[in-house]
Copies of this chain bind each other. A is one copy, B any other.
Amino acid sequence: MDYQEIIEEVYHQVQNLNLKGNVATYIPELAEVDPKQFGIALVDLKGNVYGVGDYQVPFSIQSISKVHTLTMVFHKFDTQLWYRVNVEPSGNPFNSIAQLEYEKGIPRNLFINSGALVITDALCSKFERPTEQISDFINEISGKNCVNINQQVKNSEKSHGERNTALAYFLKSYKNFDNPVEEVLDVYFSHCAIEMNCVDLAKSFSFLANDGFSIFANRQILSESHARRVNAIMLTCGFYDEAGEFAYRVGMPGKSGVGGGVAAVMPHKFSIAVWSPELNEKGNSVKAIKALELLTDKLSFSLF
């Protein structure tokens, strides 16, 4: 059985399960998305693309972009950054400020909001035009000019951004934030408002399945050792408060976003993006997670 058959089978099995969830409602743009949409795109290490359902429809990748921004500063900062943010899974919701206080301004990991803000802050220190350079980078590793920043989504996030603003000032009070809050938040909301389809998103994760080398950019994006470490971080921290459950049921390094997308990799095999807007109460797409669980059950290889 080849990948195309498998993802189609998974697609239909999930559709038949009639899973229910709720689309994100904190901004109108996400609330208005058609909740029925569901797509899967798998990209193998030769660049072959397999797709099913709404896999060519662009969607808001939201927090999945945190993997891209992390990658952009990973090779530049290496050790320095580890004094500013940890890599431990969090036992609290993604936007909790309590744990940040308890841990004295050092975010518990890179994917909770406070940690991602530190990464974006570091990125603003290193790049002249950070927002454009993030787009350029993702375009490069997807092998295509595919990135579109939805300005309406960005503005909407901004106008509901009090909590992230609070997190940024809180980090600043602990001297763990170098650039002006407004400036960093603008970059942060921009990269969270990126829209891509499943194919391009899966391609942009390909280097993580390939020991750091992107066949689309045709260059080594991260060293082999760094690529493995990003995967380790995704496995332990990529699914908010549900990372353990995802490792347990699926066992692939991945990252989810509140737009209903999940991007994941099976090292040395393939990268994959699944999208469906309805979320479970932990903020992860119900269909995407089920699809990945069924997929790993069907495949003869596993991380473990």
Contact = CB atoms under 8 A, between A and B. Distances in A.
A243 B304 contact: no
Copies of this chain, count? 4
A253 interface: yes
A236 B90 CA distance: 11
Given A97-B97, A170-B166, A89 B244 contact: yes
A247 B233 CA distance: 7
A245 B87 contact: yes
Interface in A216-241: 225, 227-229, 231-233, 235-237, 241
Nearest to A88: B244
Contact of A108 (B88, B91, B227, B229): B91
A91 B93 CA distance: 12
A71 interface: no
A248 interface: yes
A235 B247 contact: yes
Interface string A250-276: 010100000000000001000000000
A206 to B, nearest CB: 14
A304 B303 CA distance: 7
A302 B249 CA distance: 20
Interface SS of chain A: helix, strand, loop or mixed? Answer: helix
A235 B253 CA distance: 12
B166 A162 contact: no
Interface stretch (A12-20, A35-43, A98-106): A98-106
A121 interface: no
Contacts of A87: 244-245, 247-248
Of residues A225, A229, A235, A241, which shows the largest number of chain B Cβ atoms within 10 Å of its Cβ? A235
A231 B165 CA distance: 36
Contact of A96 (B101, B162, B303): B101
Contacts of A242: 88
What 10 A-B pairs are tightest by C-beta distance, nearest first? Answer: A91-B91, A89-B89, A98-B98, A162-B173, A166-B169, A231-B304, A88-B244, A166-B170, A163-B173, A228-B304
